[in-house]
Amino acid sequence: MEEWMSKYTLYRKIHSFISDNPDFLYMDMDTFCKSKDWNLIPFGEADKELMLISKDGYTFYEHSRFSIFYNKDKPRARQRFTISHEIGHIVLFHHLYVPTKILTNNKNKGIWEYQADTFAQNILFPIEWAENLKGQSIHNIAKFLGVSKEMVNVRYRNLSEDLYWLNEIKREEGSNGISK
């Protein structure tokens, strides 16, 4: 397995992103993308050509510049997840490993899509928050974080694996892991 495909590399990048961007949860996506010099471009259901590429969103890379396209007609929680998922593609350097200028999951759901989903779940709902918000209703957590109830449920289903890998990264750094 190539290094970029490993869970270790995925969780190392997640940990680094969260450490390097501690205010991400409090920023709107447009502000964050502008701070990285990435284009954030909304499209809608009426944009038939773009809808053929993806109904949710995708990342386009050309001339050393990223553009994230997202469907403005989707619920706000879905937009946040889609944009965070696309940020995952950028941070994980998928554009270097996937032989296309456009990263989308319409037909070819490969490891890069799993990684981008995992990345988005972890940056929108960091593991420390998942631990602290246990006991709250799924509805209240989703509303508080601006994510969907489905994402909260998936996050809790994946919590053990995320906890394991992020603790491995923290142990390697010599810091205490995240408690269960």
Domain count for the chain, please give it: 1
Query: Could you list the residue range(s) of the whole structural domain that residue 164 is in?
Result: 3-173
Look at residue 179 and tell me if it is in a domain.
no
57: Cβ contacts below 8 Å, ≥ 6 apart: 68, 69, 70, 71, 79, 82, 83, 85, 86
Look at residue 45 and tell me if it is in a domain.
yes
Look at residue 180 and tell me if it is in a domain.
no
Look at residue 48 and tell me if it is in a domain.
yes
Look at residue 111 and tell me if it is in a domain.
yes
One pLDDT digit (tens) per residue for the chain, 180 residues: 578 889 999 999 999 999 999 999 889 999 999 999 999 999 999 999 999 889 999 999 888 899 999 999 999 999 999 999 999 999 999 888 776 666 665 555 688 899 999 999 999 999 989 888 989 999 999 999 999 999 999 999 999 999 999 999 989 888 655 655
